[in-house]
């Protein structure tokens, strides 16, 4: 129950449906970039033949470069003064370079030697990450102002995740069923479509087109809101600027969420790139079977879109997120655990694919609910910081949170290649011919990393302290301060 707003606080205007849809559509660009980079490990390692350590090293290094640039983008967009406001100039500027770099990533020149191919891959990943950050950080920073209300933020974040997952899932299914077709290699081996080099050029073109369209739709569709958004007051001195940055980054609630994300990022970085390897070599799935799992996950944002606001309103955001992340972690390790315990029948048995589909449905739904709530909780910190510093620092908050997560994820991503090398995973491997001991060893590394980092990340959220009552009280206090006369000198 929301109850009436506190005295001195007027209900915020409700966004038109078209603005919500346009704002949400922008998250598809971030999702498409994630799809492209998610394909890099398998494409450059198993298809093009670069060593796994090189590929994971490039992914990790690009994440770190992106992380270091993100706070600069966030702080610049917080302070930017223009006729198009603080955020939109950056959003418009990102469209072409983001699309071009993603296209180039999956369309490398033919017949490159290993060194030049590595350089091409690294340059494209860095350009893709930086150009998407130029859009994602300012657009994410719009959330607190577009939806000031405690529960409305969760709903708008839900819209954003709805587009940010359905569009990429649709693209992956399209690629796996249309572009990445099964083929016979030069050695006469029948291989699944995800190892087909011919399909990746079209994949890159489709991803680039979607990125360009989604960025422009988001920027143009929210352009009319510029007049109601905050305009920054310039800092009088460098000391004032540093005080604002310090007050923002040392906020207790920000630290709780960010440290949770950092711990989660360590686990994601270390083992997040192994999903394609498990699907292709542990479960021996075809491209169509992988697309069935991915496609089924496409309905989960619809469920999460309805579930996240309801759980957040009934349980409070913190309790809801702890519950959903804990259950999501359980589903995340269940199928591989059952395989190691010898409970499951051999690959190809009729029960295997339905089991993976159902597990993916529940796990993804719960994880997305948690991510929606995390985004809403991060937005709630904006007014907590404003009450302490007198300034809105959305860009700095979202970018600093992103920076720390990406640094540890980037360092962890370098570990993915080391893990594959440690278990002696073969290059250009043939499904069904990878030694069982190699796959078992890989799974035994994956499971504890996932379980421990997930558990610690959930524990950190317990230190978050903002609830509905404190948020509404803070909004009312800020509103009263804005309407009170300035003290005379």
Query: Residues with Cβ < 8 Å from 150, sequence gap 6 or more?
Result: 2, 380, 468, 471, 472
pLDDT at 176: 87
- Domains, in order of start, for the chain: 18-227+239-479 (1.20.1250.20)
To 5 degrees, how large is the angle CA 305–CA 12–CA 466? 65
pLDDT along the chain (489 residues), means of 10: 46 77 92 89 89 87 84 83 89 96 94 92 95 91 82 83 85 90 83 88 95 96 86 62 70 86 78 81 88 79 84 89 92 92 91 92 88 84 78 71 62 74 88 92 92 91 87 77 55
pLDDT at 5: 46
pLDDT at 401: 63
Burial class (CB in 10 A: 0-12, 13-18, 19+), 409: buried
pTM summary value? 0.68
Integer angstrom CA distances of residue 113 from 39, 105, 222, 384: 20, 16, 45, 53
Residues 196, 182 contacting (CB under 8 angstroms):
yes
Say which residue the tokens 């591989």 belong to.
336
DSSP tag of 392: -
Nearest to 360 by CA among 303, 322, 310, 305: 303
pLDDT at 174: 92
pLDDT at 452: 92
DSSP tag of 14: P
pLDDT at 334: 93
Looking at 406-480, which runs of residues are DSSP E strands? Answer: none
296: tokens are 């089924």
C-alpha of 351 from chain center: 31
30: tokens are 């971030």
**What are residue 430's phi and psi, to 5 degrees?**
-105, 125
Nearest to 278 by CA among 366, 222, 356: 356
Integer angstrom CA distances of residue 279 from 184, 296, 352, 454: 19, 15, 11, 22
pLDDT at 489: 41
Other CB atoms closer than 10 Å to residue 2's CB: what's the count? 11
pLDDT at 408: 58
Give buried/exposed letters for 360-379 (b at 16+ CB in 10 A, else e): bbbbbbbbbbbbbbbbbbbb
pLDDT at 410: 62
pLDDT at 200: 94
């Amino acid at each position: 129950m929301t109850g009436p707003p506190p005295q001195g606080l007027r209900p915020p205007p409700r966004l038109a449906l078209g603005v919500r849809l346009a704002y949400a559509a922008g998250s598809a660009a971030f999702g498409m970039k994630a799809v492209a980079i998610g394909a890099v490990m398998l494409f450059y390692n198993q298809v093009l033949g670069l060593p796994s350590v090189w590929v994971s090293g490039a992914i990790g290094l690009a994440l770190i470069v992106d992380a270091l640039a993100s706070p600069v983008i966030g702080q610049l967009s917080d302070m930017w003064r223009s006729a198009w406001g603080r955020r939109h100039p950056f959003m418009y500027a990102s469209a072409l370079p983001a699309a071009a770099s993603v296209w180039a990533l999956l369309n490398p020149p033919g017949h490159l030697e290993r060194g030049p191919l590595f350089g091409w891959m690294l340059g494209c990943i860095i350009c893709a990450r930086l150009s998407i950050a130029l859009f994602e950080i300012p657009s994410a920073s719009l959330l607190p102002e577009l939806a000031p209300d405690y529960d409305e933020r969760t709903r708008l974040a839900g819209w954003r995740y709805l587009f940010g997952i359905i569009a990429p899932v649709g693209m992956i299914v399209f690629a796996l069923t249309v572009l990445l077709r099964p083929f016979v290699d030069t050695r006469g081996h029948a291989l699944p479509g995800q190892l087909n080099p011919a399909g990746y050029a079209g994949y890159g073109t489709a991803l680039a087109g979607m990125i360009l369209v989604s960025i422009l739709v988001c920027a143009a569709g929210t352009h009319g809101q510029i007049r109601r958004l905050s305009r920054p007051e310039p800092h009088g001195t460098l000391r004032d600027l540093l005080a604002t940055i310090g007050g923002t980054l040392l906020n207790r609630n920000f630290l709780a969420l960010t440290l949770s994300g950092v711990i989660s990022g360590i686990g994601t970085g270390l083992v997040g790139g192994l999903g394609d390897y498990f699907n292709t070599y542990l479960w021996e799935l075809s491209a169509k079977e992988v697309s069935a799992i991915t496609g089924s996950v496409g309905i989960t944002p619809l469920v999460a879109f309805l579930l996240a606001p309801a759980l957040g309103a009934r349980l409070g955001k913190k309790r809801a997120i702890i519950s959903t992340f804990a259950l999501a972690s359980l589903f995340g390790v269940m199928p591989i655990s059952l395989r190691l315990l010898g409970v499951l029948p051999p690959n190809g048995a009729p029960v295997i694919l339905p089991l993976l589909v159902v597990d993916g449905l529940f796990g993804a739904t719960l994880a997305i609910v948690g991510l929606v709530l995390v985004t809403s909780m991060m937005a709630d910190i904006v007014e907590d910081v404003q009450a302490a510093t007198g300034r809105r620092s959305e860009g700095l908050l979202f970018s600093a949170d992103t920076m720390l997560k990406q640094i540890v994820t980037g360092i962890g991503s370098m570990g993915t290649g080391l893990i594959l090398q440690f278990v002696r995973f073969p290059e250009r491997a043939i499904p069904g011919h990878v030694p069982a001991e190699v796959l078992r060893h890989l799974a035994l590394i994956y499971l504890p990393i996932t379980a421990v980092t997930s558990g610690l990340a959930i524990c950190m959220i317990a230190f978050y302290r903002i609830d509905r009552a404190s948020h509404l009280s803070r909004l009312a206090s800020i509103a009263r301060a804005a309407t009170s006369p300035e003290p005379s000198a």
